[in-house]
Structure 1
Amino acid sequence: MYDDRSMELDRTVFFMDVLISVVVFLLSFQIRNFLHPNADINLSTHLFLLPLLLVLVVSFLSYFGAYDLPKYTSNTKYAWSVFRGVSLAIGILLTLLFFFNVQYISRIVILTFAGVEFLSLVVLRIFVRRYFLISLASGANSLKVLIIGTGERAKDLIQVLEHQADWGIKIVGYLDPDPTRVGQFIHGAEVIGSLDNIDDCLRKHVIDEVIIAIPRSMLEDAEPIVLACEEEGIKLRFMADVFNVHVAKVSLTMMGQIPLLTLEPVAQDSLQLLFKRVFDFSVTLLAMPVVLPILAVAGIAIKIDSPGPMFFVQQRVGLKKRYFPMFKLRSMYVDAEEKLKEIEHLNEADGPIFKMKNDPRITRVGHFIRKTSIDELPQLFNVLRGDMSLVGPRPMSIRDVDLFDKGIQRRRFSVKPGLTCIWQISGRSDLPFHKWLELDLEYIENWSLWLDFKILLKTPVAVLKTKGAA
């Protein structure tokens, strides 16, 4: 949805849906009175349903794709989307009326509304789609763009614009810093001048937008273009990929009068992150009645098996490389950290992590709680504290992080560490470090709430198999 016209059409259809729904509801009430003139029903007792009905209808229409742009759908798909949206909304409403035993609401009004609403919303979308297709064919609403630059970045931009411009696009022409290129044709459009001609071009042509697509080495030449667009009242866009890096999200923030361009290598939706945090906290609290007795029994076994505390607390590297105390049940002797230096040459793992099949530092109880992952349960307290999430890359020790030999390995610190991740359901500690890292990066780049849910469902099976437990 590159063009603002798409957003305007979306809003228009939305407001038309609301208006049509209100009119249809009132009409349904009148139809009910016409069919049963002697029935005693009151309009005011029905109007309180209208806000709830509007919320349900619009929400489900959006969910089922009834607001998709006409370019990407068909009349049949629109009808199916509207049918599902209206049917589910009415179904929920009737269920609520039945559950709360509301008798003074006429079911005939509700069912009449459903039928007329479906037909009205489908007809609206047929007309909207027809208008869109006629407009697209005629080019009347096509986006008229002047591009500054003729290099590879400009050519890449054209290809993207042709795909993303929903209402069609017309390249008015190009301006290039090199006057010798004037008169050349690129993708069917002419280089109509150099940067010195910007004022004349904006005056003589119908232009919706100017897009700057010149190398960063020439950005100092862009100021006259900015001033010219400001004078003419023409929208100016600027290709922000000036550093040749792949970023997941680009945003512009105003800090007072200073615009700050933000390049984020990992795109994370703040609303989804909030839901993730609420989900983590709620699930962890619900699990506590089961977890606490297990911890109590394991703690007693640890104390009987070897002297020392029940818990092992170690500083780990978390979100944005901030340290936090990670809790585990103690599975090693109390002098394990000092003995690591003596046996580090026996490391069987590649990369910065340490792994040894018959590690002499592990106690008898330690072998069992590691194999069953019971030693990890205290990290649920880290989840409650907000240091960790249920799903995320494993938090690494300061020692291991100091041994990282590639910068990209530190991308794992762009998200909260977790109790489980893709590595946990793919072999756990049997995996070589490079594969472990690869799976962590795969999780970060493809993160979604649904992915977290799938990982959580598969984790108990992986734990019960005890394969790859360190």
Structure 2
Amino acid sequence: MKEAIRFEYKTPFIKRLFDILVAGTALLALSPLIMLVVILIKLESKGPVIYYSLRVGTGYKIFHFYKFRSMYTNADRKLKELKHLNQYGATSTSTTVADASTFLCDECKANGTACQRPIYTDKETLCEKIYEKRQKAEAGAAFLKIQNDPRITRVGKFIRNTSFDELPQLWNVLIGDMSIVGNRPLPLYEAEKLTTDKYMMRFMAPAGITGLWQVEKRGKAGDMSEEERIMLDNAYARDNSFWKDILLILRTIPALFQKENV
């Protein structure tokens, strides 16, 4: 990222106490389930049980954002092998997918050098040029859509559908990286673009597992735009309190039983 912009945000004592009690209790209560997920992941595929991506939270602080691994460790390499499974056929974007597996763009290949500005996402690392091409391709159609994606393990599919892959974020809450309620921490490449006065307000609130836009999304028909999401993040940053957080948690519970992910 560019030079970090930092804001001082001091978590209210009652909010921090609530986070510790909820996260600690949940980790203890769910420990049998967590152990079962760990065992199943290890039995099905080699590699670490937990992976992390770099996320930007309160005051543009960068931290390790934890999840259970749901894909094979060589998932990026498999993209090259899966081009023929792309539901949208072999297009020019398929070449981009193959190139992404080497983390090199055409321009960098021509120069014989590695990409200097890699983009870090939850699932892969790729050249910024490739990411931009991917975003343009996705504006018209899905970049890569594979039915029964073989990169995802059987256990991975289950924990994604049930959101069990998010359980390690309770550790993020316990150590103070996040809160139970707040604005979702963003990947570096997204946060870097939100450094203007219009958007930076969202980073003056705590980073959280659930928040205002996740709940409001349930009341909307269709997908929520990125602009709408950021405006709701700003609204939460301007007006939040412990009791409003409790109301958001109560509104989140029924949302968990609906189809869309929060």
CA distance in 2, matches of 1:403, 1:336: 27
User: Structure 1, residues 268-312: CA drift from partner, whole Å, max 9, x if none?
Assistant: 8x6x71110011111212222322222212222222333211101
Shift in Å at residue 368 of structure 1? Answer: 2.3
Describe the shift of the 1:357–1:274 C-alpha distance in structure 2 as closer, same or farther (beyond 3 A).
farther
Q: Which residue of 2 is the match for residue 89 of structure 1?
A: none
Shift in Å at residue 321 of structure 1? Answer: 1.1
CA contact (8 A) 1:427 1:468 kept: no
Q: Does 1:364 align with 2:154?
A: yes
Match of 2:167 among 377, 393, 397: 377
User: Structure 1, residues 88-129: CA drift from partner, whole Å, max 9, x if none?
Assistant: xxxxxxxxxxxxxxxxxxxxxxxxxxxxxxxxxxxxxxxxxx
Q: Does 1:302 align with 2:37?
A: no
User: Structure 1, residues 329-360: CA drift from partner, whole Å, max 9, x if none?
Assistant: 1122324566443984455877xxx9976595
Q: Which residue of 2 is the match for residue 457 of structure 1?
A: 250
Choose 379-388 or 278-287, whichever is displaced more: 278-287
Q: Does 1:396 align with 2:189?
A: no
Match of 2:51 among 270, 295, 312: 312
CA distance in 2, matches of 1:405, 1:273: 25
CA distance in 2, matches of 1:273, 1:291: 27
CA contact (8 A) 2:202 2:236 kept: no
Match of 1:291 among 30, 45, 55: 30
Q: Which residue of 1 is the match for residue 68 of structure 2?
A: 329
TM-score by length of 2: 0.64
Describe the shift of the 1:356–1:427 C-alpha distance in structure 2 as closer, same or farther (beyond 3 A).
farther
CA contact (8 A) 1:316 1:324 kept: yes
Shift in Å at residue 323 of structure 1? Answer: 1.4
Shift in Å at residue 430 of structure 1? Answer: 4.1
Describe the shift of the 1:399–1:363 C-alpha distance in structure 2 as closer, same or farther (beyond 3 A).
farther
Q: Which structure has the larger Rg over C-alpha atoms?
A: 1
Describe the shift of the 1:443–1:355 C-alpha distance in structure 2 as closer, same or farther (beyond 3 A).
farther
Shift in Å at residue 426 of structure 1? Answer: 3.0
CA distance in 2, matches of 1:370, 1:355: 20
Choose 418-427 or 400-409, whichever is displaced more: 400-409
Q: Which residue of 2 is the match for residue 71 of structure 1?
A: none
Shift in Å at residue 411 of structure 1? Answer: 2.1
SS in 2 for 1:427: helix
CA distance in 1, matches of 2:210, 2:143: 18
Q: Which structure features the higher share of helix residues?
A: 1
CA contact (8 A) 1:371 1:466 kept: no
Q: Does 1:279 align with 2:18?
A: yes
Higher-RCO chain (CA-CA 8 Å, sequence separation at least 6): 2
SS in 1 for 2:257: helix
SS in 2 for 1:303: helix
Structure 2: 5+ residue stretches without partners = 1-6, 77-99, 102-123
1:226-305 maps to which residues of 2 (within 5 A)?
Answer: 273-305=12-44
What is the root-mean-square deviation of aligned Cα atoms in Å? 3.3
SS in 1 for 2:12: helix
1:135-284 maps to which residues of 2 (within 5 A)?
Answer: 273-284=12-23
SS in 2 for 1:431: coil
Q: Which residue of 2 is the match for residue 438 of structure 1?
A: 231
Shift in Å at residue 387 of structure 1? Answer: 0.8
Q: Which residue of 2 is the match for residue 418 of structure 1?
A: 208
CA distance in 2, matches of 1:434, 1:281: 32
For 1:447, the aligned partner's letter is N
Shift in Å at residue 399 of structure 1? Answer: 2.4
CA distance in 1, matches of 2:213, 2:23: 21
Q: Alignment length, in residue pairs?
A: 199
CA distance in 2, matches of 1:466, 1:408: 32
Identity %: 35
User: Structure 1, residues 42-89: CA drift from partner, whole Å, max 9, x if none?
Assistant: xxxxxxxxxxxxxxxxxxxxxxxxxxxxxxxxxxxxxxxxxxxxxxxx
Shift in Å at residue 390 of structure 1? Answer: 0.3
For 2:36, the aligned partner's letter is V
Structure 1: 5+ residue stretches without partners = 1-265
